[in-house]
Amino acid sequence: MSKHLLSIEDLDREGIERILERAQSFAEVSGREIKKVPALKGRTVVNLFYEASTRTSSSFELAATRLSADVISVRAAGSSIEKGESLRDTIQTLTAYEPAAIVIRSPHAGAAASVAAWTDAAVVNAGDGKHEHPTQALLDVFTLRQRLGSLDGLRIWIVGDVLHSRVARSDISAFQKMGASVTVAGPPTLLPRGIEALGCAATPTLERLPEADVVYVLRMQHERMQEAFVPSLGEYTARYQINATRLRPGQLVMHPGPVNRGVELDGDVIDSDASLIGEQVRAGVAVRMAVLYELLVGASALAAVA
């Protein structure tokens, strides 16, 4: 069993299914009045977030707490990271508390893998730059399975700023492993060259969007754009915004959050029956409980593929 969850490639379909089954049982626990289980009692989970986060950080915190772990949450702002302490020194410092797991989000691709080399703790990648966000992919698959039963044969379109999206990279892989076909769509400047090598189709227009069963909308990631990738937001919105006029009845809409309301996604769609966004957020806690459980307690969910 691989000790860490650094990439969705650490999991095969069987490993993903095992985590999702575990998540299902934790979702049931979350429906009870007492939402805690003693699985990680006496063990410590460190959450280290070097980048903005609402959903991911709060759900990891809640997940570890509901497993009865002791939880330390460190944010870049207000910590010694701000004073210039290197990631390696920060990990060394936190290692003194003998954590069982370190959950890390960083603006740098590969940061989680580096941490895994420096610590005995199990490391969970909560987003490393443009690279990967494996627990988001797991919760997205969980959400779709809850609603549809299976992803086999499902046609999923991922629309928008694919270039800067670690969610897209992890989702393309996870959705395909679970039997779905994936098409990415967006302005050519926001579609990575050669993305088809990941097994998906790519298109610069939404003409064939009605073919999609699920429309997965991505946020325009302004913070990762050093230059202008689209002529204007108005132009982007006119061509690529997902709104009622572009959707056909029965299509489901997802978004990892946070949404730029009125840019990549129209506000009315977010609040409509087509939207799974609220279910994605809810799934986050049970899925992250399952990931921590499998890494720290469970037997062999994470079969090393490498």
Residues near ligand NCD (CB under 6 A) are: 55-56, 127, 133, 136, 166-167, 219, 221, 256-257
Residue 44 or residue 161: which is nearer to ligand NCD going by CB? 161
Q: What is the DSSP letter of 5?
A: B
Identify the three-state secondary structure at position 15. helix
Q: Which amino acid type is present at position 187?
A: P
Residue 22 or residue 133: which is nearer to ligand NCD going by CB? 133
Among residues 57, 304, 122, which one has the least CA distance to residue 112?
A: 122
Residue 66 or residue 166: which is nearer to ligand NCD going by CB? 166
- Least distance from ligand NCD to the Cβ atom of residue 133, Å: 5
Residue 221 or residue 237: which is nearer to ligand NCD going by CB? 221
Among residues 229, 211, 208, 212, which one has the least CA distance to residue 220?
A: 229
Backbone φ, ψ for residue 49 (5° rounding): -115, 110
- Least distance from ligand NCD to the Cβ atom of residue 113, Å: 17
- Least distance from ligand NCD to the Cβ atom of residue 123, Å: 17
Q: Which residue is nearest to ligand NCD (CB)?
A: 219
Residue 44 or residue 104: which is nearer to ligand NCD going by CB? 104
- Least distance from ligand NCD to the Cβ atom of residue 87, Å: 18
Among residues 242, 186, 195, 177, which one has the least CA distance to residue 214?
A: 242
Give 182-235 as a 3 state SS string.
EEEECCHHHCCCCHHHHCCEEECCCCCHHHCCEEEECCCCHHHCCCCCCCCHHH
Q: What is the DSSP letter of 8?
A: G
- Least distance from ligand NCD to the Cβ atom of residue 41, Å: 28
